[in-house]
């Protein structure tokens, strides 16, 4: 694959590029924010979509046995996790699924734990349903390593009011791939205090060390019975706009309850395009993905090495997964508002504000590196020039 090929995404109703003036208040910002890629989807996916379009009829569609089989085979081959096809429940997206899960499995006033800084919708799906949000902040070492704070987590669980934890695995934005030992310790606490685990594993395929990710439900029989695993091909194969996600729910009672909430809101119909793309991606997209991960890792190393040589004010956190780079700007001594203005109006860069991931993210920025090497080089040039001017001010 030629990942250096620049594809013009302007004037395609593209959230990432066409919405820059609205999001950042400036038209000349280089967008490296929202989590989709600037790369074409795998050739097998495009071919499958062409074939589906040529058929010419786009009526109501359901997840077939072949569709479910593609997902099951992918989980077994990529993540060494054997699942049953009946465990798979379609939903148009992971975030809608999280909202439905909070609605179905908790009551107003129940407590739900999230591990901050974390993906912003985690806050929203809890608070907008009238549940109490409990923060379990990740620990950050002087070496820049994030870890779970199990002591704080158990303190929250021990109140008896926590009914659910929404786990981000791998973690967005810090890029941690939780070790099996860390997940087993979490699973033990959830078993002890009877807490439901909703594990967002949408970035699981984007792990740089293949085999490094452990699906939470694969840990033990108890973990399997108390978890809902949220997956999607969207981040992996850059098909987020096709609105296709799959919840893997081994526990029959949990699965039945989830289906009821889907029916209540008349959600759950897959599109013919989403079905075709998903099956093709999981059946034939692995070689493309393997090449992609090498290319993205190269982008990340470029940023890290450049920062070490030219931008000592910044600390770049090399992720174990995702195409999202978590960068520490705190040594610049700027407030959240000042840092945002500096990046947008001086560096002309559009990044995700760390503050949007919670208070623990203030002073950080998230940079999307699923883009051409030339885009990364342009971003570094802009950032370097802006910091040079800032140093002299």
pLDDT band at 48 (very low <50, low <70, confident <90, very high): very high
How many other CB atoms sit within 10 Å of the CB of residue 344? 19
CA dist., res. 225 & res. 27, Å (int): 50
Predicted pLDDT of residue 10: 96
The pLDDT of residue 263 is above 90: yes
Confidence of residue 142 (pLDDT cuts 50, 70, 90): confident
The percentage of the chain sitting over the pLDDT mark of 70, rounded to a whole number, equals 100
pLDDT for position 102: 98
Q: Is the pLDDT confidence value at 268 over 90?
A: no
pLDDT at 299 (0 to 100): 98
**pTM attached to this predicted model:** 0.97
Strand 324-328 vs strand 227-231: parallel, antiparallel, or unpaired?
Answer: unpaired
Residue 380 structure tokens: 């570094």
- Mean pLDDT of the region 299-313: 98
The stretch 66-74 carries a mean pLDDT of 98
pLDDT at residue 63, rounded to an integer = 95
**CA distances for 120 relative to 172, 250, 283, angstroms:** 10, 27, 32
pLDDT band at 393 (very low <50, low <70, confident <90, very high): confident
Tokens (6 digits) for 171: 């973690």
**pLDDT greater than 90 at residue 383:** yes
How confident is the model over 196-212, as pLDDT tens digits? 999 999 999 999 998 89
The pLDDT value given to residue 148: 98
The residues, ordered by sequence, that sit 6+ positions from 352 with a Cβ below 8 Å of its Cβ are 33, 34, 173, 365, 366, 367, 368
Is residue 212 a contact partner of residue 37, using CB atoms and an 8 Å limit? no
- DSSP-derived pairing of the beta strands 139-140 and 146-147: antiparallel
Q: For 275-290, what is the mean pLDDT? A: 98
Structure tokens that stand for 53 in this block: 């379009």
pLDDT of the residue at 182: 98
Residue 270 has pLDDT above 90, yes or no: yes
Helices (H), 311-369: 336-341
Q: For position 144, what pLDDT does the model report?
A: 85
Cα(324)–Cα(370) distance, integer angstroms? 8
User: Is pLDDT of 59 > 90?
Assistant: yes
Q: What are the start-end ranges of the E strands in 141-294?
A: 146-147, 162-168, 196-200, 227-231, 245-248
Q: What is the mean pLDDT of residues 69-88?
A: 98
The pLDDT score that the predictor gives to residue 146 is 97
Please state, in angstroms and as integers, the Cα–Cα distance from residue 287 to each residue in 42, 44, 218, 290, following that order.
9, 10, 25, 5
**pLDDT single digits (tens) 143-152:** 889 999 999 9
Q: Which domains are delineated in the chain? A: 15-42+287-388 (3.90.1150.10), 57-284 (3.40.640.10)
Q: What is the pLDDT of residue 210?
A: 82
| pLDDT of 222 | 98
User: Has residue 302 got a pLDDT over 90?
Assistant: yes
């Amino acid at each position: 694959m030629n990942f250096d090929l620049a594809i013009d995404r302007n004037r395609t109703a593209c959230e990432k590029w066409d919405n820059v003036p609205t999001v950042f208040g400036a038209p000349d910002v280089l967008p490296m924010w929202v989590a989709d890629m600037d790369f074409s989807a795998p050739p097998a996916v495009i071919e499958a979509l062409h074939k589906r379009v040529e058929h010419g009829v786009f009526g109501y569609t359901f997840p077939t046995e072949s569709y479910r089989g593609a997902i099951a085979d992918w989980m077994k081959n990529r993540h060494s996790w054997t699942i049953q096809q009946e465990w798979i429940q379609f939903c148009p997206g992971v975030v809608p699924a999280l909202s439905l899960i909070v609605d179905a499995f908790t009551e107003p006033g129940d407590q739900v734990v999230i591990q901050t800084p974390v993906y912003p919708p985690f806050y929203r799906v809890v608070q907008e349903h009238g549940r109490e949000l409990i923060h379990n902040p990740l620990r950050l070492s002087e070496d820049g390593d994030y870890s779970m704070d199990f002591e704080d987590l158990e303190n929250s669980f021990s109140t008896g009011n926590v009914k659910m934890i929404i786990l981000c695995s791998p973690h967005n934005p810090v890029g941690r791939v939780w070790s099996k030992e860390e997940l087993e310790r979490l699973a033990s606490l959830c078993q002890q205090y009877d807490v439901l685990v909703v594990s967002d594993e949408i970035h699981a395929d984007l792990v740089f060390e293949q085999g490094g990710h452990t699906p939470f439900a694969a840990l033990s029989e108890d973990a399997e019975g108390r978890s809902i695993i949220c997956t999607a091909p969207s981040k992996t194969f850059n098909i987020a706009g096709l609105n296709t996600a799959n919840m893997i729910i081994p526990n029959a009672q949990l699965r039945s309850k989830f289906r009821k909430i889907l029916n209540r809101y008349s959600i759950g119909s897959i599109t013919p395009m989403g079905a075709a793309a998903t099956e093709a991606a999981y059946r034939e997209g692995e070689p493309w993905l393997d090449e992609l991960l090498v290319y993205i890792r190269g982008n990340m190393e470029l940023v890290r090495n450049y920062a070490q040589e030219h931008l000592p004010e910044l600390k770049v956190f090399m992720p174990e997964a995702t195409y999202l780079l978590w960068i520490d700007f705190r040594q610049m001594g700027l407030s959240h508002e000042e840092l945002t203005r500096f990046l947008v109006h001086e560096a002309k860069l559009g990044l995700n504000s760390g503050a949007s991931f919670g208070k623990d993210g203030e002073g950080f920025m998230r940079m999307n590196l699923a883009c051409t090497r030339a885009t990364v080089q342009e971003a570094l040039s802009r950032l370097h020039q802006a910091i040079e001017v800032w140093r002299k001010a």
